[in-house]
Amino acid sequence: MSKRPSDWVLELVKQDRVTQEFKELHWTGTFRDYVDLAAADPRVARNAYQRVYDMIVSFGTEDVTSRKERVLRYRFFSDPLGGGRDAIFGIEPALMKLVSHLKSAAAGFGSEKRILLLHGPVGSAKSTIARVMKRGLEHYSRSKDGALYTFQWRMPGRDDWEDCPMHEEPLKLLPADTRTAFEKSLDEKSDSAYRVRIEGDLCPFCRFNLRLAMEQCDGDWATAMERHIRVRRLVLSEKDRIGIGTFQPKDEKNQDATELTGDINYRKIAEYGSDSDPRAFNFDGEFNVANRGIVEFIEVLKLDVAFLYDLLGASQEHSIKPKKFAQTDIDEVILAHTNEPEYRRLQQNELMEAFRDRTVRIDVPYNTVLDHEVRIYTRDFGPERVRGKHVAPHTVETAAMWAVLTRLSPPKRAGLTLVQKLKLYNGKMLPGFTEDTVKELRAESEREGLEGISPRYVQDKISNALVNGESVNCINPFLVLNELEAGLSHHSLVSSEDVRRRYRDLLGTVKEEYEDVVKNEVQRAISADEEAIQRLFANYIDNVKAYTQREKIRNKFTGRQEEPDERLMRSIEEKIEIAESRKDSFRSEVMNAIGALAVEGRVFDWRQDERLETALELKLFEDQKDSIKLTSIVSSVVDRETQEKIDVVKSRLIKNYGYCSECATNVLGYVASIFARGDTRERD
């Protein structure tokens, strides 16, 4: 009998594991139990900054050397928890600065008294960084290493347990005069990187309950803890508003500071008799619910000034002022983000000097490395995401190249084009430029990455090409580039006609680069006959050997001894721009390489020399171009022999370069038209 779908689902859930996890996450115990737990593992008493930093580091790091500079890459920001859905690419320096601040704050060096302000252009991953950090903290709180705890009250006349509304650390229940001795005893036993510090007082609700409990127990604190306190495991959750808060600006007329610090519950005033009774107050503002975790302020500088004043105390003093109550201590990471126009306005506002002084600005720029930008779009438009349509090779790359070019500053160095600068940033070495040159280029361009086209715009236009091209089965670079150009006329963030004209010119530059790429691919596909390359290589080597040894070579057709074929050798060497004056040294290098391998009993292969491989492929392409008559593709009449050769080239494009039948035909037609234009120009 086959299994029912419900049986399969139950097996998938693995109920035993889920039940065990449920028990661990819903652990409860006495205050004494928790003290023993904290003594055994003081990490449970970490503050919010320590917990967030440890969470990031727990996923591991990678040391990467780029342009003679050490870059520490945190695997956490590759979004392993989300399967890479929110992976952040190419802004390692910004992420390093962020984590460095968290590390300093975790050590208590004063950085914990600052607001972390992510600053950058729209679409530069500021919100993504915040989202990944919040999700990571949720997951970390469910793990053994990230376990944290809070406590509940059971007061006289009530049978149920009531949570501390701000989910505070249970050790804050210790009397102030005993904390120092307790901290010292834990520090002596612990090998943790952090010293245990019990900071701040209880929230108004818990202070009120503690006073009642002490009265009930005639001032016996230990009895009060035993009768009225229960400690439980705390799991942070943004959806449940536990330990993670998010605040977004609204209409100024509807903004109310109580959204941050809580408000009076007017229905309970009649029950408790006063609006200053903490039991008649809802401690549900974003600062309250985010205690022990993270609070995110979206577009923070669009907030009303009154809200910014609340942020000052929250950051510097780690306290907030709920209505009708004294200052209330909080423990949370304050993470905010803003765009550049709002930040410039902040800088010009002299009245906000105190806010600027309490802010650590972390620039989050756009990507300026092409490969990283490509990864962003490949994640959204890869084969696993796009079903029913084929995205032609280089479609994503050309869109990414244009986006990165709009963000780069024009190079000041003579003889260096913007495209060359892009290639240098992407790791390609060009003649006359070194790694030190790249460092100098970055140093002279302070604004790079803070201006230009957002990835969102490119993503929208690729989506448009996929949707609007319903009559085609394959989306090619020209469809996307046309969408990018058409959208510029009404792009809300491109207000200057000069900028719009520059972006259009860059589209033309990208098309030229794409033309070179596909010409090279078609050339390689045509010259991919390895047997023909091997014959050409053998012929070249025979002639080079004879030339360097000042010998004659036997003509295999006539049998006569002849001079080395200079025309053949130069036709190959010119393909890689070996000048006439350098031909002797190049040929000597080739023969020396052959001789060195022969001593070791090995045979020289043309694939071992990248320059020679390129030269042979280009020579073979030139020899075969006329026989294949690629330009005849643009004609309506193609003879059978030519069509067979074209079909071979097409199959190589499909097999080796990722084309489908439709886009392989299109790219062959496009390259054929280029050659046709070239032939026309040559005849003219």
Q: Are residues 99 and 212 in the same domain?
A: yes
| β-pairing verdict for 474-475 and 390-391 | parallel
> Where is pLDDT greater, at 405 or 65?
405
pLDDT tens readout for residues 602-636: 888 877 777 788 788 788 777 766 555 555 554 55
Residue type, 457: Y
Q: Report if residue 19 sits inside a domain.
A: no
> Where is pLDDT greater, at 12 or 519?
519
Question: Phi and psi dihedrals of 261, rounded to 5?
Answer: -120, 5
Q: So what's the pLDDT on residue 16?
A: 58
Q: Are residues 103 and 195 in the same domain?
A: yes
Q: Are residues 62 and 86 in the same domain?
A: yes
Mean pLDDT of 93-107: 94
Q: Are residues 399 and 314 in the same domain?
A: no
Domain stops at, among 626, 659, 679: 626
Q: Are residues 309 and 211 in the same domain?
A: yes
Give the DSSP H or E segment for 562. strand 561-562
Q: What percent of the chain has pLDDT above 90?
A: 45
What is the SS3 assignment for 40? helix
Q: Are residues 415 and 538 in the same domain?
A: no
pLDDT tens readout for residues 128-176: 999 999 999 999 999 999 999 999 999 877 788 999 999 999 999 999 9
pLDDT tens readout for residues 247-292: 988 766 667 778 899 999 988 888 888 888 999 999 999 999 999 9
Q: So what's the pLDDT on residue 45?
A: 92
As a whole number of angstroms, the distance between CA 615 and CA 536 comes to: 11
pLDDT tens readout for residues 308-348: 788 888 999 999 999 889 999 999 999 999 988 888 888 87
Q: Are residues 219 and 113 in the same domain?
A: yes
Domain stops at, among 523, 544, 574: 523
Q: So what's the pLDDT on residue 677?
A: 65
Q: Report if residue 22 sits inside a domain.
A: no
| 66 has a pLDDT exceeding 80 | no
Mean pLDDT of 526-547: 83
As a whole number of angstroms, the distance between CA 611 and CA 197 comes to: 64
Q: Where does the pLDDT of residue 680 fall: very low under 50, low under 70, confident under 90, or very high at 90 and above?
A: very low
Q: Are residues 484 and 547 in the same domain?
A: no
Domain stops at, among 335, 365, 395: 365
As a whole number of angstroms, the distance between CA 642 and CA 629 comes to: 7
Work out the end-to-end distance of the chain between its first and last CA atoms, rounded to an integer number of angstroms: 80
Tell me the residue ranges of DSSP E strands in 36-93.
61-66, 69-74
Domain span at residue 567? 527-626
Mean pLDDT of 103-111: 92
As a whole number of angstroms, the distance between CA 625 and CA 524 comes to: 11
Q: Token pair of 259, please?
A: 């959204």
Q: So what's the pLDDT on residue 10?
A: 58
* Polymer length of the chain: 684
Nearest to 24 by CA among 138, 149, 135, 137: 149
pLDDT tens readout for residues 201-221: 999 999 999 999 999 999 999
Mean pLDDT of 105-110: 91
Q: Are residues 97 and 241 in the same domain?
A: yes
Q: Report if residue 642 sits inside a domain.
A: no
Q: Report if residue 392 sits inside a domain.
A: yes
Residue ranges in 349-394 assigned as alpha helix (H): 353-357, 370-381
Q: What total number of domains does the chain contain?
A: 3
| 679 has a pLDDT exceeding 50 | no
| 578 has a pLDDT exceeding 90 | no
Q: What percent of the chain has pLDDT above 70?
A: 91
The domain that contains 72 carries what CATH number?
3.40.50.300
User: 631, 674 in Cβ contact below 8 A?
Assistant: no
pTM > 0.85: yes or no = no
Q: Token pair of 262, please?
A: 């809580």
User: 295, 286 in Cβ contact below 8 A?
Assistant: yes
Q: Are residues 388 and 503 in the same domain?
A: yes
Measured CA to CA in angstroms, residue 595 lies from 81, 606, 614 at distances of: 54, 14, 22
Average pLDDT, the chain: 86
Q: Token pair of 432, please?
A: 């006359």
Nearest to 133 by CA among 217, 75, 55, 243: 55
Mean pLDDT of 44-64: 94
Q: Are residues 511 and 535 in the same domain?
A: no
Q: So what's the pLDDT on residue 382?
A: 82
The C-alpha angle with vertex 94 and arms to 124 and 404, in degrees rounded to 5, equals: 45
Q: Where does the pLDDT of residue 684 fall: very low under 50, low under 70, confident under 90, or very high at 90 and above?
A: very low
pLDDT tens readout for residues 634-668: 455 556 776 777 788 888 888 888 899 888 888 88
CA 67, 72, 77, 79 torsion-angle sign: positive
DSSP string, 480-537: HHHHHHHHHTT-TT---HHHHHHHHHHHHHHHHHHHHHHHHHHHHHHT--HHHHHHHH
Question: Phi and psi dihedrals of 290, rounded to 5?
Answer: -85, 0
As a whole number of angstroms, the distance between CA 378 and CA 85 comes to: 11
Q: Report if residue 682 sits inside a domain.
A: no
Q: Report if residue 229 sits inside a domain.
A: yes
As a whole number of angstroms, the distance between CA 19 and CA 4 comes to: 23
- 98 CB neighbour count, 10 Å cutoff: 22
pLDDT tens readout for residues 378-401: 988 887 788 888 899 999 999 999
Mean pLDDT of 364-376: 93
| β-pairing verdict for 333-338 and 281-282 | unpaired
Q: So what's the pLDDT on residue 115?
A: 93
Burial profile 642-665: b = 16 or more Cβ within 10 angstroms, e = fewer: beebbeebbebbeeebebbeebbb
Q: So what's the pLDDT on residue 522?
A: 84
| β-pairing verdict for 294-297 and 333-338 | parallel
Q: Where does the pLDDT of residue 8 fall: very low under 50, low under 70, confident under 90, or very high at 90 and above?
A: low
Q: Are residues 489 and 600 in the same domain?
A: no
Nearest to 494 by CA among 90, 120, 122, 126: 122
Nearest to 186 by CA among 196, 177, 174: 196
**Least confident interval from 63-72, 80-89, 259-268, 322-331:** 63-72
Beta bridge partners of 337: 118
